[in-house]
Amino acid sequence: MLSVLADSLRVTGLLILRIGVDAHSLEGLRTGARGRYLLSIVKEWAEMDTGDDQFFLYFQKNIPSWDFLRHEKFVKKILKGPLGISGFTLYYNVFLPRAAGRDKVDACFFPFYMLPYFYRRGNAVVAIHDLAFVAHPEWFSWKHRIPLQFLARKASKKAKYVIVPSEFSKNEVLSRFHMAPGRVKVTYLAPDAIFSPEKDLDAINRVKAKFGLKKRYFLGVGTVFTRRHVEKVISAFSAIGGGDWQFFIAGRDLTNPPLHIDLLVSEINRRAGREMVIRRDFVEDNDLVFLYSGADFCVYLSTYEGFGIPPLEAMASGSIVLTTNYTALRESVNGAGCIIKDPTNIQEIRNALEGLMTNEELRNDLRKKGNEWVKQFSWRKTAEETLEILKN
C-alpha cells in the first residue's frame, strides 16, 4: 500500500526525488573524458528547474570548489570508513552502496561502465560509453581489458537502465550483452558551451606561442588510441613535407601494442630539421578553445567510437574536421566533415591533408556545413534526458 502511495505522489510531483550520483570522477583539476561527461550533466542540473528534487553527490577524497556545486539541491558527501579508512575499492564497493541506502535514494547514477559489487538496490542507471574493449580486445592491455569486460557486462545485468551515447553503441550493447531493447537508452553528447569561434587573434597567438606553434597548423585532440591512427597521420604529413605547417597532438599515448608515438615524433622532427609535430599529454580547456579556433582543421581518423566529442568541439569552434564514417561517427559527424574511407591508407590521408592545406574554398564550405550541424547538440538536452531516465 505504501509503495502504491509513493508511486502516486511521484506521478503528481508531490514527492521529492532523491537521486544519488557517483561523483568521484569530478575530483581533481583534470577530470578527463569521463569527468567531462558527468561535469557537463551536473552543471546543467544546477541551472535547470528540478523542483525540490535532491542530488546526493558522493566523493572519495575531496569536493571540488566549483560555484555551481554550492546549489542547495546538491548534497555533497565524502565517503570514508571508521577512523578515516579510505581507498577507491572500499569507497566504490562498500561506502557508496551503504550511503545510497542510508540516504534512501530513489535512483543512483553511475557514469562510467560499472556498478559497485555490493549494490543490491534495483534502482541503478549506468552509462556505458562504448564497447571497444569487447569488439577489439587487441587494442587494450589485459589489465584494462579484463576488468572492463567483466564489470561492464555485470553492470548491464544489474542496472535498471543502461545509457549509451549513440544508436551504434545501443546496438553494440544489445548484441554483445544480450539486453532487452527497452533497457538501453540513447542520450547524445555535445561540445561544451565554451567552444565557439574565437576572434581574439592576440590570445590565439599567445596560446600558439605557448606550445611552440609558429604559423599554420592542424590539430588532433583526444587520447592517442590505436584505433585513431595518429601514427598514420604523422607519416602522411611527413611525406608531404609540410612547408611551415605543423601538426599538434593533444592527448596521452595509450596505444596497444605501444606505437611509441613520441619516438616517431622525434624521428620525424629530426629528419625535418624543425619541430614539425608537437605532442602534449594534456591541454587545459582554456587553451584548447584558442587552439581549435587557430587551427586550419582538425584530424580524428577513428575506426571505432561510441560517439566522438572532439569533432563536434572543432565544429563548434569554427574549425573543420578530417574524419571517418565509421561506427558512431556516422551519427555525431554525419558527413559534416571531410571524410576518409580508409584511415589506414597513408596515401589517402596524404591526399586529404594536401587538399585541406591548399583548398581554401573547400575549407570554407566544410566550415559552414559543420557550423550548422553542431547546433543540434547540447548538454542541456543530454542532462534533461538523463534526469528523465533516472526519474522513471
Read off the pLDDT of residues 20-67 as tens digits, 9 standing for 90 and up.
999 999 997 555 666 889 999 999 999 999 999 999 999 999 999 999
Distances (CA, A) of 285 to 32, 72, 124, 179: 11, 27, 31, 37
Q: Which fold has domain 201-376?
A: Rossmann fold (3.40.50)
For position 4, what pLDDT does the model report?
A: 47
Pairing outcome for strands 184-186 and 277-280: unpaired
First to last CA, the chain: 20
pLDDT of 256 above 50: yes
Q: pTM score > 0.85 for this model?
A: yes
Give yes or no on whether 2-190+379-391 and 201-376 have one common fold: yes
For position 1, what pLDDT does the model report?
A: 42
pLDDT band at 145 (very low <50, low <70, confident <90, very high): very high
What average pLDDT is seen over the chain?
A: 93
Please say whether the dihedral angle defined by the alpha carbons of residues 191, 377, 327 and 115, taken in this order, is positive or negative. Answer: positive
For position 5, what pLDDT does the model report?
A: 44
* pLDDT tens digits along 278-309: 999 999 989 999 999 999 999 999 999 999 99
pLDDT of 10 above 80: no
pLDDT > 70: percent of the chain:
95
Q: What is the CA radius of gyration of the chain?
A: 22
| CATH architecture for the domain at 2-190+379-391 | 3-Layer(aba) Sandwich (3.40)
Instruction: Report how far residue 279's alpha carbon sits from residue 295's, in angstroms, rounded to the nearest whole number.
Output: 15
* pLDDT tens digits along 101-142: 999 999 999 999 999 988 877 799 999 999 999 999 999 889
pLDDT of 9 above 80: no
* pLDDT tens digits along 191-235: 999 999 988 999 999 999 999 999 999 999 999 999 999 999 999
Domain boundaries, the chain: 2-190+379-391, 201-376
